Structure 1
Amino acid sequence: SANFDSHQWSTAITYEKTNVQDSYRNKSSLQCTINSSKRKQKQNTKQSPITTKPKKKARFNKESISNESSLTYEQEQQLDIDYKKLTVQKSLNDELEREIRLRQQLKSLCNTEPNDK
C-alpha cells in the first residue's frame, strides 16, 4: 500500500506541474519535456547579451544617421528654396490674373461706351 500511495502522490504532483491526466503512461517522455523546459529557462536567464557586434553596428548606424541628417538638412534647404520659388510664382500668377481681369473690364467698358453714344 505504501507503493500505491507514493505512485498516487507522484501522479498527482505530475498532474499539478504539467496538467497531464493520470492516464498518461509514458512518464519518461513527460520528464524529458519537463527537463527540457527547465534547461531552456536556465539558458534564457544565464545568457548575457552580446555586446561587441551591436556596438559596431551602433557606430555604423550613428555615422549613417549623421549622413542622413546632413542630407535632410540639404533637402530642407532645397525645400525652402522651392517653397520660395512657388510663392514668387503664385504672386506672379496673381498679378497676371489681376491684369487679365482689369483688361477684360477695360475691354467691356470700351465695348459698352460706343453703344451708349
Structure 2
Amino acid sequence: MDFKRSIGVLPASDLARARAYYKDMLGLEPEEDMDDEGGSLYSVGGSLFMLYQTSFAGTAKNTALTLETGDLDATMADMRGRGVAFEEYDMPGLKTENGVAELGGERSAWFIDSEGNIIAIAQRS
C-alpha cells in the first residue's frame, strides 16, 4: 500500500456558515477550497481535515475532531472571547468543571460547532 496522507472529514449542512464559524471562532482559514467537491481543506499542525456539504451534519453524538493545544486555559479564554460556549458533562467516566475534564494525562474541553459537530480541544500533561 502506498497511502499519501489522511484527511479527517467534518460534515456541514451549510458550508458557508461552517467556513465563517471556523474562521471567526477558531481563527482557521482554508488551505484549499474544493468547490467542485463541495468542501474546504484545513491544515492544523500538519494534520488535515475537510469541511464538506452534506445533509447528515450534526447527527454524530461522538467527538468528531480533537484539536491539540499547548495551553488549554489560554485557548479556551480566546475561544470564549470569540463566542464559543463549552459543554458541561457529568456522566460516568467524564465530569467537567468550567468546561474542563481531567483525563489522566490530558485536560480536555468540548464545544459544538455551527453544524452540530462535537469538537474537543486537549492539552497533554
Is this a same-fold pair by TM over 0.5? Answer: no
Q: Give the number of the structure with larger relative contact order, counting CA–CA contacts within 8 Å between residues 6 or more apart.
A: 2
Q: Please tell me whether Structure 1 or Structure 2 has the larger radius of gyration of its CA atoms.
A: 1
TM bracket, shorter-chain basis: under 0.3
Task: Using structure 1 for the length normalisation, give the TM-score.
Answer: 0.22
User: Which protein is richer in helix relative to its size?
Assistant: 1
User: Which protein is richer in strand relative to its size?
Assistant: 2
Task: Using structure 2 for the length normalisation, give the TM-score.
Answer: 0.20
